[in-house]
């Protein structure tokens, strides 16, 4: 098995194979590898060059759209994702990405346009979940929507809990994170922390559980010392392989900075944000934190 097949998820492998007959196959593959490795500026430059030389395709539109979203560049993201959704309407990953773009548009829109964008957002998320009902990733998008959207736009905590339960049915570890996320949004902080107690009692060095304890502390503003200890423990453990949704050292440094800031340790917090950027120069949340 090649290194590409070891490192990439099946839809990524498929995307690369689509380009196998073209002269841009190597460049496209390099762009995917940079994307998967979270080197987003480099990936964006590569995909832009591939598009310039070969023209727009579903795959380049998808990646350029997703990358534009990472950089909060809605005017670039939306046309790419609308175009590839029209060409490949049966691909769940594209519908989900389009939902992200519409959600960002709803946040940025004036009061009269917000509801229309919100409806487009939830319709795309629901379509993704309908196309691939066994994929927890699309249900995470629904959780985010239901937590943040007002009832008028179809939001609601009950719907978020229902999606968390479905994620738990599909994958126990993912389900713990999903319920913790909903509990945090519902101010049920002890229950959020409690999701990871059974894991850490059996495996005290479980990287993901330790990170989630740190995240719970950062989001809730409670048990700050416990969160700091958990995140510092993460930094002496091996970093997980890059994958969608898996936290990296950059995430850990960022959350640690957030906790230190909440404690009033401004200089230490800035140092952690800087370490997040030293780990991953494209980690936008740390850039935002340092600007504020």
Question: Do 184 and 216 form a contact (C-beta atoms < 8 A)?
Answer: yes
* Overall average pLDDT of the 102-106 stretch: 97
- Listed ranges 49-58, 73-82, 234-243; the one with the highest mean pLDDT: 73-82
Domain coordinates in residue numbering, the chain: 187-292
pTM of the model: 0.89
pLDDT digits (tens, 9 = 90+) for 198-257: 999 999 999 999 999 999 999 999 999 999 999 999 999 999 988 777 899 999 999 999
pLDDT of residue 249: 97
Residue 144 has pLDDT above 80, yes or no: yes
pLDDT digits (tens, 9 = 90+) for 113-126: 999 999 999 999 99
What distance in Å separates the CA atoms of residue 264 and residue 36, rounded to the nearest whole number? 35
pLDDT of residue 10: 41
* Crossing angle (nearest 10°) for helices 58-70 and 10-18: 130
Question: Do 215 and 256 form a contact (C-beta atoms < 8 A)?
Answer: no
pLDDT of residue 244: 72
What distance in Å separates the CA atoms of residue 67 and residue 76, rounded to the nearest whole number? 9
Band the pLDDT of 24: cuts 50, 70, 90. low
Tell me the CATH class for 187-292.
Answer: mainly alpha
What distance in Å separates the CA atoms of residue 215 and residue 227, rounded to the nearest whole number? 7
């Amino acid at each position: 098995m090649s290194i590409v097949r070891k490192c990439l998820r099946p839809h990524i492998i498929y995307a690369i194979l689509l380009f196998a007959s073209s002269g841009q196959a190597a460049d496209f593959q390099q762009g995917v590898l940079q994307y998967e490795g979270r080197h987003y500026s480099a990936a964006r430059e590569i995909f832009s060059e591939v598009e310039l030389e070969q023209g727009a395709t579903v795959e380049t539109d998808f990646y350029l759209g997703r990358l534009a979203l990472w950089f909060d560049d809605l005017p670039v993201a939306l046309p790419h994702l609308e175009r590839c959704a029209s060409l490949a309407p049966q691909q769940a990953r594209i519908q989900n990405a389009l939902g992200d773009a519409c959600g960002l548009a709803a946040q940025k829109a004036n009061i009269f346009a917000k509801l229309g964008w919100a409806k487009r957002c939830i319709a795309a998320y629901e379509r993704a979940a309908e196309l691939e009902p066994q994929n927890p990733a699309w249900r995470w998008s629904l959780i985010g929507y239901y937590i943040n959207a007002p009832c008028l736009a179809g939001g609601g905590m009950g719907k978020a809990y229902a999606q968390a339960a479905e994620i738990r049915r599909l994958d126990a570890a993912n389900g713990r994170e999903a319920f913790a996320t909903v509990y945090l949004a519902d101010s049920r902080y002890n229950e959020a922390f409690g999701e990871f107690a059974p894991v850490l009692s059996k495996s005290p060095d479980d990287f993901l559980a330790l990170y989630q304890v740190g995240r719970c502390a950062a989001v809730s503003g409670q048990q700050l010392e416990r969160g700091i200890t958990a995140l510092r423990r993460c930094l002496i453990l091996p970093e997980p392989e890059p994958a969608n949704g898996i936290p990296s050292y950059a995430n850990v440094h960022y959350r640690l900075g957030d906790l230190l800031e909440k404690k009033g340790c401004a200089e230490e917090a800035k140092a952690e944000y800087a370490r997040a950027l030293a780990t991953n120069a494209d980690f936008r949340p740390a850039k935002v934190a340092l600007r504020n």
